[in-house]
Protein backbone atom coordinates (compact mmCIF):
# COMPACT_ATOMS: atom_id res chain seq x y z
CA UNK A 1 0.00 0.00 0.00
CA UNK A 2 2.76 2.42 0.97
CA UNK A 3 4.88 1.71 -2.11
CA UNK A 4 2.39 1.12 -4.91
CA UNK A 5 -0.68 3.26 -4.10
CA UNK A 6 -1.91 5.46 -6.94
CA UNK A 7 -2.38 8.96 -5.54
CA UNK A 8 -4.06 10.29 -8.67
CA UNK A 9 -7.54 9.25 -7.49
CA UNK A 10 -7.14 10.15 -3.81
CA UNK A 11 -7.54 13.87 -3.02
CA UNK A 12 -7.41 13.10 0.72
CA UNK A 13 -3.87 11.73 0.59
CA UNK A 14 -2.68 14.59 -1.59
CA UNK A 15 -4.12 17.10 0.87
CA UNK A 16 -2.34 15.58 3.84
CA UNK A 17 0.95 15.38 1.94
CA UNK A 18 0.70 19.10 1.22
CA UNK A 19 -0.07 19.78 4.88
CA UNK A 20 2.90 17.64 5.91
CA UNK A 21 5.05 19.87 3.72
CA UNK A 22 3.68 22.94 5.52
CA UNK A 23 1.35 24.05 2.72
CA UNK A 24 -2.30 24.76 3.51
CA UNK A 25 -3.31 26.48 0.27
CA UNK A 26 -5.80 24.60 -1.90
CA UNK A 27 -6.60 22.19 0.97
CA UNK A 28 -10.25 21.22 1.37
CA UNK A 29 -11.85 22.68 4.46
CA UNK A 30 -12.73 19.14 5.55
CA UNK A 31 -9.03 18.30 5.97
CA UNK A 32 -7.13 21.49 6.72
CA UNK A 33 -7.53 21.48 10.52
CA UNK A 34 -6.44 17.88 11.14
CA UNK A 35 -2.89 19.04 11.69
CA UNK A 36 -1.48 16.65 14.29
CA UNK A 37 -0.43 13.73 12.10
CA UNK A 38 0.72 15.85 9.10
CA UNK A 39 2.74 18.15 11.39
CA UNK A 40 4.38 15.20 13.14
CA UNK A 41 5.10 13.55 9.77
CA UNK A 42 6.63 16.76 8.46
CA UNK A 43 8.93 16.99 11.47
CA UNK A 44 9.91 13.33 11.18
CA UNK A 45 10.53 13.60 7.44
CA UNK A 46 13.42 16.05 7.92
CA UNK A 47 15.87 13.57 9.49
CA UNK A 48 14.55 10.74 7.31
CA UNK A 49 15.33 12.73 4.16
CA UNK A 50 19.04 12.79 5.06
CA UNK A 51 19.37 9.01 4.84
CA UNK A 52 16.43 7.93 2.68
CA UNK A 53 18.27 8.29 -0.62
CA UNK A 54 21.16 6.19 0.65
CA UNK A 55 18.88 3.34 1.67
CA UNK A 56 16.57 3.49 -1.38
CA UNK A 57 18.55 5.17 -4.16
CA UNK A 58 16.18 3.80 -6.80
CA UNK A 59 13.39 6.05 -5.55
CA UNK A 60 13.51 9.66 -6.73
CA UNK A 61 13.76 12.52 -4.28
CA UNK A 62 10.62 14.41 -3.41
CA UNK A 63 7.77 13.08 -1.34
CA UNK A 64 9.22 9.67 -0.50
CA UNK A 65 10.72 10.72 2.88
CA UNK A 66 7.43 12.41 3.84
CA UNK A 67 5.41 9.38 2.76
CA UNK A 68 7.73 7.16 4.79
CA UNK A 69 7.27 9.44 7.81
CA UNK A 70 3.48 9.11 7.48
CA UNK A 71 3.93 5.35 7.15
CA UNK A 72 5.95 5.05 10.36
CA UNK A 73 3.63 7.31 12.33
CA UNK A 74 0.43 5.69 11.14
CA UNK A 75 1.74 2.16 11.79
CA UNK A 76 2.69 3.20 15.32
CA UNK A 77 -0.59 4.97 16.04
CA UNK A 78 -2.64 2.08 14.65
CA UNK A 79 -0.62 -0.33 16.81
CA UNK A 80 -1.58 1.65 19.93
CA UNK A 81 -5.21 1.65 18.78
CA UNK A 82 -5.04 -2.13 18.37
CA UNK A 83 -3.65 -2.42 21.89
CA UNK A 84 -6.74 -0.55 23.09
CA UNK A 85 -8.97 -3.01 21.22
CA UNK A 86 -7.14 -5.92 22.80
CA UNK A 87 -7.39 -4.57 26.34
CA UNK A 88 -11.02 -3.60 25.83
CA UNK A 89 -11.80 -7.15 24.70
CA UNK A 90 -10.04 -8.66 27.73
CA UNK A 91 -12.07 -6.39 30.02
CA UNK A 92 -15.28 -7.87 28.57
CA UNK A 93 -14.24 -11.30 29.85
CA UNK A 94 -12.53 -12.84 26.84
CA UNK A 95 -9.31 -14.77 27.25
CA UNK A 96 -6.04 -13.00 26.37
CA UNK A 97 -5.36 -15.49 23.57
CA UNK A 98 -8.80 -14.95 22.07
CA UNK A 99 -8.38 -11.19 22.37
CA UNK A 100 -5.07 -11.33 20.49
CA UNK A 101 -6.64 -13.43 17.72
CA UNK A 102 -9.60 -11.04 17.47
CA UNK A 103 -7.29 -8.03 17.36
CA UNK A 104 -5.24 -9.60 14.57
CA UNK A 105 -8.44 -10.50 12.71
CA UNK A 106 -9.63 -6.89 12.87
CA UNK A 107 -6.24 -5.73 11.59
CA UNK A 108 -6.65 -7.85 8.44
CA UNK A 109 -9.27 -5.36 7.20
CA UNK A 110 -8.31 -3.43 4.10
CA UNK A 111 -9.12 -0.27 6.03
CA UNK A 112 -6.28 -1.05 8.43
CA UNK A 113 -3.95 -1.26 5.43
CA UNK A 114 -5.22 2.12 4.24
CA UNK A 115 -4.87 3.73 7.67
CA UNK A 116 -1.33 2.40 8.17
CA UNK A 117 0.13 2.59 4.68
CA UNK A 118 -1.18 5.90 3.34
CA UNK A 119 -0.63 9.55 4.29
CA UNK A 120 -3.98 9.85 6.05
CA UNK A 121 -5.10 10.77 9.57
CA UNK A 122 -7.54 7.87 10.06
CA UNK A 123 -5.16 6.10 12.43
CA UNK A 124 -5.43 8.90 14.99
CA UNK A 125 -9.23 8.85 14.89
CA UNK A 126 -9.19 5.07 15.29
CA UNK A 127 -6.95 5.57 18.32
CA UNK A 128 -9.42 8.08 19.80
CA UNK A 129 -12.26 5.56 19.46
CA UNK A 130 -10.04 2.84 20.92
CA UNK A 131 -9.09 5.01 23.91
CA UNK A 132 -12.74 5.95 24.43
CA UNK A 133 -13.93 2.33 24.49
CA UNK A 134 -11.04 1.18 26.67
CA UNK A 135 -11.66 3.97 29.19
CA UNK A 136 -15.34 3.07 29.50
CA UNK A 137 -14.48 -0.60 30.00
CA UNK A 138 -11.59 0.07 32.37
CA UNK A 139 -13.48 2.37 34.73
CA UNK A 140 -11.71 4.87 37.02
CA UNK A 141 -8.29 3.37 36.29
CA UNK A 142 -8.77 4.32 32.66
CA UNK A 143 -9.42 8.02 33.22
CA UNK A 144 -6.13 8.91 31.51
CA UNK A 145 -7.40 7.31 28.30
CA UNK A 146 -10.66 9.24 28.51
CA UNK A 147 -8.83 12.53 29.03
CA UNK A 148 -6.54 11.77 26.10
CA UNK A 149 -9.54 11.04 23.86
CA UNK A 150 -11.26 14.28 24.88
CA UNK A 151 -8.19 16.43 24.32
CA UNK A 152 -6.97 14.86 21.07
CA UNK A 153 -10.39 14.01 19.64
CA UNK A 154 -11.40 17.46 18.33
CA UNK A 155 -8.11 17.81 16.43
CA UNK A 156 -8.28 14.28 15.02
CA UNK A 157 -11.59 14.88 13.23
CA UNK A 158 -14.36 17.44 13.69
CA UNK A 159 -16.99 14.68 13.77
CA UNK A 160 -15.51 13.66 17.14
CA UNK A 161 -18.23 15.78 18.74
CA UNK A 162 -20.70 13.07 17.66
CA UNK A 163 -18.92 10.77 20.12
CA UNK A 164 -19.08 13.24 23.02
CA UNK A 165 -22.63 12.35 24.23
CA UNK A 166 -21.61 8.67 24.31
CA UNK A 167 -18.51 9.54 26.36
CA UNK A 168 -20.39 11.77 28.77
CA UNK A 169 -22.94 9.05 29.50
CA UNK A 170 -20.97 5.82 29.45
CA UNK A 171 -17.76 7.43 30.70
CA UNK A 172 -19.36 9.01 33.76
CA UNK A 173 -18.20 6.09 35.94
CA UNK A 174 -14.66 6.59 34.65
CA UNK A 175 -14.52 10.36 35.01
CA UNK A 176 -17.14 12.80 36.27
CA UNK A 177 -19.06 14.78 33.66
CA UNK A 178 -17.57 18.05 34.92
CA UNK A 179 -14.01 16.79 34.49
CA UNK A 180 -14.92 15.39 31.09
CA UNK A 181 -16.22 18.80 30.04
CA UNK A 182 -12.97 20.40 31.21
CA UNK A 183 -10.98 17.95 29.07
CA UNK A 184 -13.29 18.61 26.14
CA UNK A 185 -12.85 22.36 26.64
CA UNK A 186 -9.08 21.91 26.36
CA UNK A 187 -9.48 19.97 23.10
CA UNK A 188 -12.01 22.46 21.70
CA UNK A 189 -9.71 25.37 22.59
CA UNK A 190 -6.83 23.69 20.75
CA UNK A 191 -9.14 23.23 17.75
CA UNK A 192 -10.19 26.90 17.79
CA UNK A 193 -6.55 28.01 17.96
CA UNK A 194 -5.75 25.73 15.02
CA UNK A 195 -8.69 27.15 13.06
CA UNK A 196 -7.50 30.68 13.70
CA UNK A 197 -3.90 29.89 12.77
CA UNK A 198 -4.76 28.10 9.53
CA UNK A 199 -7.49 30.53 8.46
CA UNK A 200 -5.27 33.56 9.04
CA UNK A 201 -2.43 31.91 7.12
CA UNK A 202 -4.45 31.22 4.00
CA UNK A 203 -6.96 34.05 4.31
CA UNK A 204 -9.99 31.80 4.65
CA UNK A 205 -13.28 32.92 6.15
CA UNK A 206 -14.11 31.21 9.48
CA UNK A 207 -17.64 30.57 8.25
CA UNK A 208 -16.33 28.02 5.75
CA UNK A 209 -16.12 25.40 8.48
CA UNK A 210 -19.75 25.90 9.46
CA UNK A 211 -20.91 25.71 5.86
CA UNK A 212 -18.86 22.57 5.32
CA UNK A 213 -20.38 20.91 8.39
CA UNK A 214 -23.93 21.62 7.17
CA UNK A 215 -23.01 20.37 3.70
CA UNK A 216 -22.36 16.92 5.13
CA UNK A 217 -26.08 16.58 5.88
CA UNK A 218 -26.62 16.17 2.16
CA UNK A 219 -24.68 12.90 2.33
CA UNK A 220 -27.38 11.20 4.41
CA UNK A 221 -29.68 10.48 1.47
CA UNK A 222 -26.77 9.27 -0.64
CA UNK A 223 -25.52 7.01 2.16
CA UNK A 224 -28.96 5.47 2.73
CA UNK A 225 -29.36 4.69 -0.98
CA UNK A 226 -25.83 3.31 -1.14
CA UNK A 227 -26.32 1.11 1.94
CA UNK A 228 -29.52 -0.29 0.42
CA UNK A 229 -27.77 -1.27 -2.80
CA UNK A 230 -26.00 -4.62 -3.28
CA UNK A 231 -22.67 -2.84 -3.70
CA UNK A 232 -23.16 -0.79 -0.54
CA UNK A 233 -24.28 -3.81 1.45
CA UNK A 234 -21.22 -5.69 0.26
CA UNK A 235 -19.03 -2.75 1.31
CA UNK A 236 -20.47 -2.84 4.82
CA UNK A 237 -20.14 -6.61 5.15
CA UNK A 238 -16.57 -6.51 3.89
CA UNK A 239 -15.34 -4.09 6.58
CA UNK A 240 -14.13 -6.97 8.73
CA UNK A 241 -14.21 -9.57 5.99
CA UNK A 242 -15.38 -13.12 6.66
CA UNK A 243 -14.82 -12.59 10.38
CA UNK A 244 -18.07 -10.62 10.29
CA UNK A 245 -19.97 -13.90 9.95
CA UNK A 246 -18.49 -15.36 13.13
CA UNK A 247 -20.29 -12.98 15.49
CA UNK A 248 -23.89 -13.87 14.43
CA UNK A 249 -22.93 -17.52 13.82
CA UNK A 250 -21.73 -17.78 17.42
CA UNK A 251 -25.13 -16.58 18.62
CA UNK A 252 -26.90 -19.26 16.54
CA UNK A 253 -24.61 -22.01 17.83
CA UNK A 254 -25.05 -20.76 21.39
CA UNK A 255 -28.83 -21.15 21.16
CA UNK A 256 -28.56 -24.64 19.64
CA UNK A 257 -26.35 -25.91 22.44
CA UNK A 258 -28.79 -27.35 24.97
CA UNK A 259 -26.34 -27.40 27.87
CA UNK A 260 -25.53 -23.72 27.56
CA UNK A 261 -28.88 -22.56 26.24
CA UNK A 262 -29.48 -20.45 29.33
CA UNK A 263 -26.19 -18.62 28.97
CA UNK A 264 -25.78 -15.49 26.90
CA UNK A 265 -22.59 -15.50 24.87
CA UNK A 266 -22.42 -11.72 24.79
CA UNK A 267 -23.74 -11.09 28.30
CA UNK A 268 -20.86 -8.73 29.11
CA UNK A 269 -21.68 -6.56 26.12
CA UNK A 270 -24.57 -4.15 26.24
CA UNK A 271 -25.70 -0.58 25.84
CA UNK A 272 -22.20 0.85 25.57
CA UNK A 273 -21.45 -1.28 22.49
CA UNK A 274 -24.87 -0.59 20.96
CA UNK A 275 -24.41 3.12 21.57
CA UNK A 276 -20.96 3.05 19.99
CA UNK A 277 -22.35 1.30 16.92
CA UNK A 278 -25.04 4.00 16.68
CA UNK A 279 -22.36 6.71 16.74
CA UNK A 280 -20.45 4.89 14.01
CA UNK A 281 -23.68 4.61 12.02
CA UNK A 282 -24.13 8.38 12.13
CA UNK A 283 -20.54 8.79 10.93
CA UNK A 284 -21.28 6.48 8.02
CA UNK A 285 -24.41 8.42 7.04
CA UNK A 286 -22.74 11.83 7.19
CA UNK A 287 -19.58 10.71 5.41
CA UNK A 288 -20.97 8.61 2.60
CA UNK A 289 -17.85 6.45 2.90
CA UNK A 290 -19.55 3.46 4.50
CA UNK A 291 -16.64 1.06 4.79
CA UNK A 292 -14.02 3.53 5.94
CA UNK A 293 -16.25 5.00 8.66
CA UNK A 294 -17.65 1.60 9.59
CA UNK A 295 -14.16 0.51 10.63
CA UNK A 296 -14.51 2.86 13.61
CA UNK A 297 -16.61 0.08 15.17
CA UNK A 298 -13.40 -1.95 15.57
CA UNK A 299 -13.30 -1.77 19.42
CA UNK A 300 -16.80 -3.19 19.85
CA UNK A 301 -16.41 -5.74 17.05
CA UNK A 302 -13.07 -6.91 18.45
CA UNK A 303 -14.71 -7.49 21.85
CA UNK A 304 -17.58 -9.50 20.34
CA UNK A 305 -15.23 -11.56 18.17
CA UNK A 306 -12.93 -12.24 21.12
CA UNK A 307 -15.86 -13.57 23.16
CA UNK A 308 -16.81 -15.86 20.28
CA UNK A 309 -13.22 -17.13 20.10
CA UNK A 310 -13.12 -17.58 23.88
CA UNK A 311 -16.17 -19.87 23.91
CA UNK A 312 -15.63 -21.56 20.55
CA UNK A 313 -15.17 -24.98 22.13
CA UNK A 314 -18.54 -25.09 23.84
CA UNK A 315 -20.17 -23.55 20.79
CA UNK A 316 -19.11 -26.27 18.36
CA UNK A 317 -19.49 -29.26 20.71
CA UNK A 318 -23.14 -30.24 20.94
CA UNK A 319 -24.30 -31.45 24.35
Is the pLDDT at 242 greater than 70? The verdict is yes
Is the pLDDT at 168 greater than 60? The verdict is yes
pLDDT digits (tens, 9 = 90+) for 59-77: 776 788 999 999 999 999 9
pLDDT digits (tens, 9 = 90+) for 27-38: 888 889 999 999
Predicted local confidence at residue 292, as pLDDT = 93
**What's the whole-number mean pLDDT along residues 228-240?**
90
Q: What percent of the chain has pLDDT over 70?
A: 93
For the chain, the domains span 7-316
How far is it, in rounded angstroms, from Cα 76 to Cα 92? 25
Average pLDDT over the chain, rounded to whole? 90
pLDDT digits (tens, 9 = 90+) for 288-309: 889 999 999 999 999 999 999 9
- Are 128 and 104 in contact by the 8 Å Cβ rule? The answer is no
Per-position b or e across 251-286, b if 16+ CB within 10 A of its CB = bebbeebeebeeeebbeebeebbebbeebbbebbbb
**What's the whole-number mean pLDDT along residues 268-294?**
93
pLDDT digits (tens, 9 = 90+) for 180-227: 999 999 999 999 999 999 988 887 776 776 667 666 677 788 888 888
**What's the whole-number mean pLDDT along residues 146-172?**
96
265 closest CA partner among 80, 13, 93: 93
**What's the whole-number mean pLDDT along residues 250-260?**
73
DSSP character for 118?
S
Of the two residues 111 and 231, the one the predictor is more confident about is: 111
Is the pLDDT at 138 greater than 60? The verdict is yes
Amino acid sequence: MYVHFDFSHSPDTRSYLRMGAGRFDSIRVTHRYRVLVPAAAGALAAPIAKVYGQVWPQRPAGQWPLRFAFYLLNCGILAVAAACWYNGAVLTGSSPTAAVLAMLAVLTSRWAAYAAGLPLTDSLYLLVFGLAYYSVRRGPAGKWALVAALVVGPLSKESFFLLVPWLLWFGRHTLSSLKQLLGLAAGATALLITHHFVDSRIGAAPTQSVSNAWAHLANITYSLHRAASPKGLGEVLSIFGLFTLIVPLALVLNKRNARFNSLSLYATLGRAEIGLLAVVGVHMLLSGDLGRMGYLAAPAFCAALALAFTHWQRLVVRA
